[in-house]
Structure 1
Amino acid sequence: MVDQQERNRKKALIAFQIFIYGYLLVMFSIQLYMSFARGWWDL
């Protein structure tokens, strides 16, 4: 029974981490896109 709870907790932790990293990645991508759109980096 304890094993099941532990497994669920680990799964929730992994899902939470994926959510956080995904959010950070999206924020980073938006900022990168905005900087390109403003023409800061003319390649």
Structure 2
Amino acid sequence: MDRQERDRKRALIVLQIVIYGFLLTMFGIQLYMSFARGWWDL
């Protein structure tokens, strides 16, 4: 029972890391594309 709970918590943490990593990657790509198009004058 305890081991199952620990495994479930670890799986949830891994899932959250994967989701946040995916969102950050998409955000980074959007940012890079907007810079590449020259929307920002830096």
- The answer, yes or no, to whether TM exceeds 0.5 is yes
Gaps of 5+ in 1: none
Aligned to 1:39: 38
Moved over 4 A (4+): none
Q: Which runs of 5+ in 2 are unaligned?
A: none
Q: TM-score, normalised by structure 1?
A: 0.96
Identical aligned pairs, as a percentage? Answer: 76
- The alignment of Structure 1 onto Structure 2 pairs a total of residues equal to 42
CA distance in structure 2 between the partners assigned to 1:39 and 1:28 by the alignment = 17
* Backbone CA RMSD of aligned residues: 0.3
Aligned equivalent of 2:8: 9
Give the aligned partner of residue 27 of structure 2: 28
Distance 2:33 2:41 in 1: 13
